[in-house]
Amino acid sequence: MEIKKIGVVHDKNLDKNKSLMVDSVFNAINKKYEVVKIPFDENFFENIKKVDFVFNLSTSGGKEGRQIHIPAILDLLNIPYTGSSAFTHTICLDKFITKLILTFYNIPTSRFTHIKENEYIENDLNLNYPLIVKPVREGSALGLTKDSVVWDLESLKREVEKIHKDFKEPALIEEYIDGIELSCGVIGNDEELTILPLLEIDFSSLPEGVERFYSYRVKNEIGENKIKYYCPARINKEVEEKIKRGAKASCKALGLRDYARIDLRVKNDEFYVLEVNSLPLLVPGYSNILKMGEKIGLNYDDFILNLLEVAIKRYFWYSLQKQTAYFCKQNK
């Protein structure tokens, strides 16, 4: 199969950042391939027939189906695409299940539990304060406020009830790690997986009284101008190597493909995975994974084309393995 035409699949309704992302990805791919934009709308199934490969940027599908629909549909249609499978997105969109899997594989993450809707906390949990409370399935810091970090049982009950009321979903409760915030970008697959230079996110310049973590207002209202970024991160080599090994182990454990972003914190030279983003945004001048790519000489267009080539190579390698397995079976 020859890859001639790429479809950039995106959501029907786009905000300013996502519109910029779709246009920028289109322009980058257009340097090397014939490319077309395909919104996830009523004409999707007709338009998708016209392409050989999909660069997937869709996060449609609602709260529980976010990021899942397009990969699932493309798998059913046997159309290859960039990024992780619907299965992996399903896992990573649930922070509780993600942490269960990380724990199973002995990948460090803060101690945690979750409280389902209609469950009530009667006594202190077997966790050490301070704790942080967040919705299990939300992204982009939704549900995270200054009050999300709690120091006693009454505050914990209040925040859990708020999550249940506002989001109609379980509340994730974790031991709060008061340490260095880092982001780890990965690109590639298996033995060719590249760990990008670690990005340190420094909240120390935020105004007094503002929380020192990515709450919704820090991420979306106070803004980038108040946060300092250091890439590579200001950590020692030993810790950096531990994080890289942990990132590779996380990719394998969760079945991540092509690219992803892993958020973590470091305290006392130990790292703890906080969350895993299986479909990070690729917005020029905004997305953290692009900041990391710049440090290894990848400008925006280079990053996008590199990611696309990684996905195409993975697809052809997988296809070759299937053909070889079929041939061997037929000739037994």
Q: What is the pLDDT along the chain (332 residues), one digit of tens a residue?
A: 689 999 999 999 999 999 999 999 999 999 999 999 999 999 999 999 999 999 999 987 655 567 899 999 999 999 999 999 999 999 999 999 999 999 999 999 999 999 999 898 878 899 999 999 999 999 888 999 999 999 999 999 999 999 999 999 999 999 999 999 999 999 999 999 999 999 999 999 999 889 999 898 988 888 667 899 999 999 999 999 999 999 999 999 999 999 999 999 999 999 999 999 999 999 999 999 999 999 999 999 999 999 999 999 999 876 655 555 545 655 66
Structural domain contains residue 96: no
Say if 46 falls within a structural domain: yes
Burial (Cβ within 10 Å: 0-12, 13-18, ≥19) of residue 323: exposed
Task: For strands 180-188 and 199-202, give the pairing.
Answer: antiparallel
Domain boundary among 153, 175, 197: 175
Strand partners, 37: 8
Number of domains in the chain: 3
The answer to whether the beta carbons of residues 298 and 305 sit under 8 Å apart is no
Residue 319 token pair: 């296809």
Are residues 203 and 262 both part of a single domain? yes
* Among candidate residues 266, 289, 242, the one with its CA nearest the CA of residue 182: 266
By CB atoms closer than 10 A (0-12, 13-18, 19+), residue 128 is: exposed
Q: In this structure, is residue 101 part of a structural domain?
A: no
Q: How far is CA 32 from CA 11, 26, 27, 192, 238, in A?
A: 24, 11, 10, 23, 40
Neighbours of 152 (CB within 10 A): 12
Written as six digits, the tokens of 67 are 């990021």
219 and 325 belong to one structural domain:
no
Q: For residues 200 and 179, is the Cβ–Cβ distance under 8 A?
A: no
Q: Which domain holds residue 24?
A: 5-83+303-330
